[in-house]
Amino acid sequence: MIPLRDSPRSSTVPVITWLLIAVNVVVFLFELSLGSRQLDQFVQVFGFVPRTFFRWVQLGGSPLDPWRFVPLVTASFLHGGFLHILGNMWFLAIFGDNVEDRLGHGRYLFFYLLCGAGSMLVQGSFTPGSSVPAIGASGAISGVLGAYLLLYPRARVLTLIILIIIPWFVELPAVVFLGVWFVTQLLAGTAALSPGAGAAAGGVAWWAHAGGFVLGMALCLLLRRPRRAQVQRDWTTRAPRGIWLPR
């Protein structure tokens, strides 16, 4: 299922969402400029490596060394290919603006970074001995999806569903679209834990997606602005268009 657009209209300019997209694109272009060996080293340093994080002290590091925690943030700005970054930025552009609208710019940025870091820890907790770097914004964006589900459960998402070779365009309630998406992450993550999964898991951090989604819902409850503030802002935004009386 590919989302094409959603029904809610933002009343503010989503400056943080566009800034995050721009930073991801710039970092990806920098990755493309590196040679193969340099890129591997770059990803090893700034990607989240579970084994390095969880065995930091055993490897001789201080438990509170800032460099231990840096990859929790930077890993969300690295991507492994064009489709990887395109899919992530597409979802962020469609769903991020509305979540930013409800949380506010500053809270939304904090929310996004925390979801990214938390999703990496969730993924790492399932594979603590892995030396493979986890990279990508999908964990943070999964948090955005979780918040969107709470904030806009009745929104409509125009969705492209491809049935073999036949494109089908349908409007789905957000609760259906995101509910199906979350269940697929759980099922794929569970399958990836099976002993013989190996390459069949596709190298996808399924538990970062599921964990980020749940974390996004929890953080949204803590960070979303009171409804009164939202009504006041809606009044300010909509008043020039005519008279509007709050119900």
Residue type, 177: F
Quick one: CA dihedral 180, 182, 183, 184, positive or negative? positive
Q: Which two tokens stand for residue 245?
A: 């009386």
Q: Give dist(CA 140, CA 87) in Å, integer.
A: 13
pTM of the model: 0.87
Percentage with pLDDT > 90 across the chain: 71
- Beta strands (DSSP E) in the chain are 2-6, 156-163, 166-173
Mean pLDDT score, 47-64: 91
Q: Tens digits of per-residue pLDDT, 203-215?
A: 788 889 999 999 9
Average confidence score pLDDT of the chain = 87
Mean pLDDT score, 95-119: 96
Which residue, 71, 100, 95, 85, is CA-closest to 25?
85
Backbone dihedral angles phi then psi of residue 55, each to the nearest 5 degrees: -110, 25
Q: Tens digits of per-residue pLDDT, 143-183?
A: 999 999 999 999 999 999 888 888 889 999 999 999 999 99
Q: Tens digits of per-residue pLDDT, 185-207?
A: 999 888 877 765 554 455 788 88
